[in-house]
């Protein structure tokens, strides 16, 4: 390891040491629950017990961060390696306590730290990225990674006519193939994942716009799930209406991708 990398990892180590690690964070609450004589108290006590094992302590954070950063910075010229901005590194290291057991999220925090330690790209490591990662699931991290290499993806909102009156009723929002393409674990949650990522400002789903040519939607339109939903609508003497839309990484989202993925 070069002296510069060593000095920088020591600086990160100092930040880790400065972040308060409370090994017994949940212990008082768990002990109190364990004193209960009712079955529900004992059940809750048992359910909470594994959580304490998932909260990373100082040794786990130190070991992971140092090993990971040494690997990520090995090809960066030593003169470009700098101590990370504490407004990024401090919150990132603290957050690792709670998400360290989730590979996709801890990798994003490590990438963010590596970006913050490279003078060529340190300015892209925005402090708000820590809070964004904290509000993401591993599946959402997979979606962002996929979007970074496949921007502008089609989606469809399914509506139906209302026979007894005027207007339309929404049946299904944000139907897309990104869950399968990104190897998400919970495919059924992808529509809400997209809502959350848009809320975080990482992606945008523009109103009233769609991709061209229309053939970009053919795979979605012929998907068994969408065909089944349309069939059910027709059985109710209503007409299915497909609203074609799309989603993409925002400028902020591209910066997030470059710094964290």
Predicted local distance difference test score (pLDDT) of residue 22: 47
Q: What is the widest separation between alpha-carbon atoms in the chain?
A: 76
Which pTM does this prediction carry? 0.82
Cis check for the bond before 255: say yes or no (omega within 30 of 0): no
Predicted local distance difference test score (pLDDT) of residue 26: 52
Let me know: does 51 contact 96? Beta carbons within 8 Å. no
Q: Residue 20: which region, alpha, beta or left (left: phi > 0; alpha: psi -120 to 50)?
A: beta
Q: Which residue has the tokens 């302590």?
A: 57
Predicted local distance difference test score (pLDDT) of residue 8: 64
Give pLDDT tens digits for 47-67.
666 766 678 888 899 999 999
Low-confidence residues in the chain, pLDDT < 70? 1-38, 41-42, 45-49, 51-53, 164-165
Q: Which residue has the tokens 């990484």?
A: 249
Predicted local distance difference test score (pLDDT) of residue 45: 60
Predicted local distance difference test score (pLDDT) of residue 111: 97
In the chain, list all ranges with CATH 3.30.110.190.
Answer: 145-258
Predicted local distance difference test score (pLDDT) of residue 56: 87
Concatenated DSSP letters of 66-111: HHHHHHHTTTS-GGGB-PPPHHHHHHHHHHHHHHTTSHHHHHHHHH
Predicted local distance difference test score (pLDDT) of residue 58: 80
Residues 6 or more apart whose Cβ sits within 8 Å of residue 116? 84, 85, 88, 89, 122, 125
* Domain with residues 145-258, CATH architecture: 2-Layer Sandwich (3.30)
Q: Which residue has the tokens 């053919």?
A: 218
């Amino acid at each position: 390891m070069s002296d510069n990398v060593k000095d920088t990892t020591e600086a990160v180590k100092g930040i880790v040491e400065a972040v308060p690690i409370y090994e017994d964070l949940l212990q008082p609450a768990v002990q109190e629950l364990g004193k209960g004589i009712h079955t529900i108290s004992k059940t809750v006590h048992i359910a909470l017990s594994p959580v304490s094992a998932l909260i990373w302590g100082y040794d786990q954070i130190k070991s992971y961060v140092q090993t990971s950063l040494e690997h990520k910075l090995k090809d960066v010229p030593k003169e470009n390696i700098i101590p990370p901005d504490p407004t990024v590194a401090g919150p990132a290291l603290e957050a690792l306590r709670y998400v360290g057991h989730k590979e996709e999220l801890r990798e994003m925090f490590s990438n963010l730290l590596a970006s913050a330690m490279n003078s060529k790209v340190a300015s892209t490591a925005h402090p708000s990225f820590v809070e964004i990662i904290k509000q993401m699931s591993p599946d959402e991290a997979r979606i962002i990674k996929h979007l970074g290499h496949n921007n502008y993806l089609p989606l469809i909102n399914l509506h139906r006519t209302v026979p007894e009156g005027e207007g339309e009723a929404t049946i299904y929002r944000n139907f897309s193939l990104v869950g399968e393409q990104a190897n998400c674990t919970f495919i059924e949650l992808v529509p809400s994942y997209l809502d959350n990522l848009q809320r975080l400002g990482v992606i945008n789903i523009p109103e009233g716009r769609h991709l061209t040519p229309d053939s970009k939607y053919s795979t979605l339109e012929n998907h068994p799930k969408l065909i089944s939903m349309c069939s059910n609508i027709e059985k109710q003497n209503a007409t299915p209406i497909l609203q074609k839309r799309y989603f993409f990484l925002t400028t902020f989202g591209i910066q997030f991708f470059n710094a964290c993925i």
